[in-house]
Chain A
Amino acid sequence: MNRFAMIGQRMTQAIPSIIGIIIVTFLLTRALPGDPAVYFAGPAADEQSIAEVRAALGLDKSLPEQFWLYLGDLVRGDLGVSISTGRPVIEELATRLPASLELTLVALIFAIGTALPLGILAATRPNTWIDHLCRVVVTAGVSLPVFFTGLFFVYIFYYIADLAPSPLGRIDIYFIAPDHVTGFFLIDSLIAGDFETFRAAFAQIILPAVSMGVFVLAPLARMTRASMLQALGSDYIRTAQASGLSRSKVLFAYAFRNALLPILTTLGMVFSFMLGANVLVEKVFAWPGIGSYAVNALIVSDFAAVQGFVLSMAILFVVINLAIDVLYTIVDPRIGMEG
């Protein structure tokens, strides 16, 4: 089977997962405690007005009927209206999801940019100061909770050193958000050619991204070190050395390419984890992301919003896993070829 067929096949395998996600999110939100109709009708409502609200929300229909309507709405791109804000859920997601994704991606880039060199250096020089440094960073990273590092950074860089802007949202209040193209302020401002805004957005994102990145840096650095050590101990490295290949060639073309596979797996897991861990960072930095939105919605039984959130996150998970699998087949020619 050639590689493209493999990738195609892997993509079709994602379809059942998405169908499953739609069913489960629907059922899950219906199983939430609390009656949305009672909440929406307000504290002064009587039996009748609650029943009216229930009928208006379609909650008086049977579950299969509700599901059918839900499916129809999904096809039209309608995720319902948020009870608490009164705005369509899809609109809210469209502005908040890019904010969270931007934060996550910047954090991930920071984590990869630090963890991989650290892990590689530690693996090539075991039991030297760089190896010990790697170990300290890894331990610190996993043992400090995200909200702590977040608050700590705010205290140091904003309150004491005054290097960072106030930790309130995606961009300083003196700036206007760039025109919406991708929803990523960093990219949109570059598209608009507005470097001032870019700088402002970047200054704003750096602290939350780093506090998030520090946490996921640990598993990445660990895995990089371990799989690099394993790769460096393999027979083909000995061959490469015996052939007199240069150090960089041995390290990157031979060892790192082979060590990449477990790192990719870890990357997929870390990314998924970050999407979930967003909430804490978003709360600390008042980041208008999807995580804080979901928490608010959950507290007030805003089922349309929760449903939309869970659905979009689940689809994101599927897409990430798909991307990791595709990367895997690109890195390793052996996948799907044997047996």
Chain B
Amino acid sequence: MTDTSDIPLLAIKDLTVEFKTRSGVVEALHEVGFEVHKREMVGVVGESGSGKSVTAYTVMGILDRAGRATGGSANFGGFEMIGARERDLRELRGREASMIFQSPRTALNPIRKVGAQIEDVLLQHTQVHHRDVKQKAIDLLAQVRILRPEQRYHAYPYELSGGMCQRVMIAIALACEPALLIADEPTTGLDVTTQKATMDIVRDLTSARNMAAILITHDLGLAARYCQRIVVMQSGEVVESAPTDVLFSDPQHPYTKKLIQATPRPDSRLEDLSDVAKDDERVSAATASTELEVEGEAPPLLEVRGLVKEYPLHETAERRRVMDRILRPNLTPSPSVFRAVDAIDFVVGSGESVGLVGESGCGKSTTSSMVTRLLDPTEGTILFDGEDIGAIPARKFARHPLRAAIQMVFQDPTESLNPRFSAFDAIAEPLRRLGAPMDRTSLAHTIEELATMVGLPTELLTRFPHQLSGGQKARVGIARAIALRPKLLILDEPTSALDVSVQAVVLLLLDRLRRELGMTYIFVSHDLNVVRLLCDRVIVMNEGRIVETGKASELLTNPKEDYTRALVEAIPHFGQSEGMPTLEGSVA
């Protein structure tokens, strides 16, 4: 399929970009170079800060004011993009080369109808006559497989789901039939099934139009599934570039090996990650592999029975329902409430690690909020250590003695830390509020102990969140959660905001802490591969109900329910058949 004999469509050579910051000039890209040929999809992978997006923005000429290309070239079909006049670039953008972005909801103008936004591009590049532009926009919506395109034409972005918005973005990008599409993390934040649907559309439409595409992603699995060639970037440089199968079967650069190693796969075990974390997390493969044999026979720590959470539907829907009842008494009334969680039962044994899995809107976060007692259930009981904590209002639970026994690690390590609290204060907060009274020195001692336990260097304790890296912030969040030695720790997507190599380290840390402190975990996640690494048992939820429950290893390799199977199959991964690369002490 890939035609490498002819001249490349896009040739980036020695591209160097500098950013002016308050602390001086920073080199964001250093002599980056790769080529993209017609009819091929090239993956650009790397962790945050590797410069993959900066490369794309520089080529497209939409870099921030602070950034400047200081050297190199980007030849696009004979046209030099670097240093080209803004007027020429504007002509080119959208017509010859276009982009789709991360977080499609914010990438669309929130107060403009999606149809109008597609038309803007068509009219700008005078692709169609005014008379036909609406029909063309509707056709495009149909091409990106949006149902009822005539109606959706009039929709505003907030009326569409994230996946739908990304399809609209694709329609905008492909409206003028460009030769190159750059997709910058197009599916980050979308559910796996939505991700698959979106990427399939991108692949099908680009290949149907003989287009070239660049897929920028942090997800090696995604790049492996869709790209013919992969470029690996690290801190502003290209470290390796190879055809996909070669890259995974025979990675050359240590960083590539590390990335591959750190990415959870359906067959990887926790100890596979430990090599990545060698320096950070001193967990030998031996300790990691000793499985705790806790299953059904463990005494239940948490028992959830008939748990329901209902939210009232929109006011007008309520009004309509009342009118219906008056005008058409024979009609069965439509429900006035939305059931986010619909009568679920489950048991978590003491010392067990249970994964709660499902797509957004399935009720997993609502369930975990109710178990954490941050949200009041509409019905049902939550028995914790034999006590019905569901009956205690969430408002009052903050002062309840059991508050210390149930703690939570939140999704976004940055957002969940008070920016005005130092790491020390963040960890001290629960101890001061709920712990036994202690004097200043013993508090300081306890906090240093906690920091050591989570692998946070104690000299970082005086720092504020913005002075810490993502992984360090995650450690602070974990230290805070375990400060009171809870029996039950609820982890709400604790690693989804982290780079894969950091994720590997944090997963190992969590696993070690569970063993050392004898905690019980409920691990809420959409990432089945991650869940499988950390959990003994998995609960799959969909539309507020439990679809399937079972041992992690069995359920994910051999799902019984169609929904679970669809979930498992949608996860992009690599190298199931090929022998995995070995790491011979070469990890940086």
Contact = CB atoms under 8 A, between A and B. Distances in A.
A306 B235 CA distance: 71
Contact of B316 (A1, A242, A249, A257): A1
A245 interface: yes
Contacts of A334: 110-111, 156, 158
A245 B111 contact: no
Interface residues of A, number: 26
A246 B90 CA distance: 7
B315 interface: yes
Contacts, number: 86
Contacts of B124: 243-246, 249
Contacts of B156: 333-334
Given A242-B98, A249-B120, A235 B103 contact: yes
Contacts of A245: 90, 94, 120-121, 124
Interface string A324-339: 0000000111100111
B62 A238 contact: yes
Interface in A221-277: 234-236, 238-247, 249, 253-254, 257-258
A331 B109 CA distance: 13
A272 to B, nearest CB: 26
Given A1-B315, A334-B156, A338-B158, A243 B110 contact: no
A243 B101 contact: no
Contacts of B95: 244
A235 B121 CA distance: 16
Interface centre among A239, A246, A331 (most CB of B within 10 A): A239
A239 B94 CA distance: 10
A238 B121 CA distance: 13
A241 B60 CA distance: 9
Interface string A149-184: 000000000000000000000000000000000000
B531 interface: no
B156 to A, nearest CB: 5
B109 A242 contact: no
A14 B89 CA distance: 52
B158 A337 contact: yes
A49 B315 CA distance: 62
Contact of B108 (A239, A246, A253, A332): A239
Contacts of B316: 1
B111 A332 contact: yes
Interface in B481-527: none
Interface in B400-446: none
B62 A243 contact: no
A327 to B, nearest CB: 13
Contact of A253 (B106, B110, B112): B112
Contacts of A257: 109, 111-112
Contacts of B107: 235-236, 238-239
A299 to B, nearest CB: 49
Query: Looking at A1, A235, A339, which has the most chain B CB atoms within 10 Å of its CB?
Result: A235
Interface string B93-119: 111001101010011111110000000
A331 B111 CA distance: 8
Contacts of B98: 242-243
B212 to A, nearest CB: 16
Interface string A304-339: 000000000000000000000000000111100111
Contacts of B270: none
Interface of A: 1, 234-236, 238-247, 249, 253-254, 257-258, 331-334, 337-339
7 closest A-B pairs by beta carbon, nearest first, are A244-B94, A244-B93, A243-B94, A242-B99, A235-B106, A236-B109, A235-B107
Given A331-B111, A333-B158, 16 more contacts: A1-B315, A236-B107, A239-B99, A239-B101, A240-B109, A243-B124, A244-B89, A244-B125, A245-B124, A253-B112, A253-B120, A257-B112, A333-B111, A334-B158, A337-B158, A337-B159
